[in-house]
């Protein structure tokens, strides 16, 4: 006969084996867990142009000046808002607004009730798989330091490139 303590013990063990992103809601994550959801693709750091009539977003190849286009990491993440005041800080409370993020983004995927893809560093155990899968902006992005703001429209990329549907 199984006791209630044995059932609780098994449930606790299985909860610990289940990755945090599958057993917690976004608002339940610690700051460390939340930050670890970033796959390091750099797509959120690309400049986007919005059609004022339709609201449609167009991604460009032009990246924020703080993005290292090779590693796809922010060069001054803790102080990014000092250097780039309009840098958007993603929070669990803003999850409903994540539609502007690519469909591959862990924050958006989890907000939509999906799970992480095989190439996500938390799943694969490697920060390189996001690049190997072709999800990151490595080899695509150019720094805004080299582009005049008036020339952004010349750097618009195809929607399939901007938001790769990699499953």
The terminus-to-terminus CA distance of the chain in angstroms comes to 44
- What's the pLDDT tens digit per position in 8-64? 333 344 456 899 999 999 999 999 999 999 999 999 999 999 999 998 889 999 999
**DSSP for residue 81:** H
Q: Please report whether residue 2 resides in a domain.
A: no
Contact 44, 88 (CB under 8 A): yes
Alpha-carbon gap, residue 162 to 78, rounded angstroms: 26
Q: How many domains does the chain have?
A: 1
Q: Please report whether residue 10 resides in a domain.
A: no
pLDDT at 167 over 70: no
Q: Please report whether residue 13 resides in a domain.
A: no
Query: Could you tell me the residue range of the domain that residue 113 belongs to?
Result: 19-162
Q: Please report whether residue 87 resides in a domain.
A: yes
Q: Please report whether residue 6 resides in a domain.
A: no
* Cut 0.85: pTM above it: no
Averaged pLDDT, 64-84: 96
Q: Please report whether residue 3 resides in a domain.
A: no
Q: Please report whether residue 8 resides in a domain.
A: no
């Amino acid at each position: 006969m199984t006791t209630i303590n044995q059932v609780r013990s098994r449930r606790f063990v299985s909860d610990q084996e289940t990755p945090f992103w599958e057993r917690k809601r976004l608002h339940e994550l610690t700051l460390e867990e939340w930050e670890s959801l970033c796959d390091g693709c750099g797509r959120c750091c690309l400049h986007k142009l919005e059609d004022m009539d339709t609201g449609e977003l167009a991604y460009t190849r032009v990246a924020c000046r703080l993005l290292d286009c090779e590693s796809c990491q922010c060069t001054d993440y803790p102080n990014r808002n000092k250097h780039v005041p309009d840098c958007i800080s993603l929070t669990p409370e803003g999850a409903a607004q994540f539609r502007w993020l690519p469909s591959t983004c862990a924050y958006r995927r989890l907000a939509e009730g999906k799970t992480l893809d095989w190439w996500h560093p938390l799943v694969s155990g490697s920060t390189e798989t996001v690049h190997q899968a072709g999800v990151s902006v490595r080899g695509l992005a150019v720094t805004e330091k080299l582009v005049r703001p008036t020339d952004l429209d010349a750097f618009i990329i195809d929607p399939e490139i901007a938001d790769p549907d990699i499953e």
